Amino acid sequence: MKAIAATSDGVIITVKVQPRASAEGVAGVDDEWVRVRLRAPPVDGKANVALIAFFARELGCSKSSVSIMTGETGRLKRIRVVGVDEANVRARLIG
């Protein structure tokens, strides 16, 4: 599985989330997933809301363009972002 994969209308990003981190941001990218640190706790969906806001901010798109496909209750998630291309996502998240 690729960490960032192109689809016909955007990308799917496989994410490993670290909630309750001291700082927010991308902690690293490898072949399997993008590691993301979030300040929000994994309680009542707060980390999921923070994750959607994080990707919308980092990728320069609206929150409605970002959705969690799988993993709403776990640390491993698949995020769908509509209206962006893979090269742009890689450039914004990696470097």
Chain-wide mean pLDDT for the chain? 96
pLDDT band at 95 (very low <50, low <70, confident <90, very high): confident
Tell me which residue of 32, 44, 38, 36 sits closest to 16, measured CA to CA.
36
- pLDDT one-digit tens code per residue, 51-77: 999 999 999 999 999 999 999 999 999
pTM above 0.75, yes or no: yes
Please give the pLDDT value at position 94. Answer: 87
How would CATH label the architecture of 4-94? Answer: 2-Layer Sandwich (3.30)
Domain ranges of the chain: 4-94
List of residues 6+ apart from 72 with CB closer than 8 A: 45, 48
- Quote the CA–CA distance of 29 and 34 in Å, as a whole number: 4
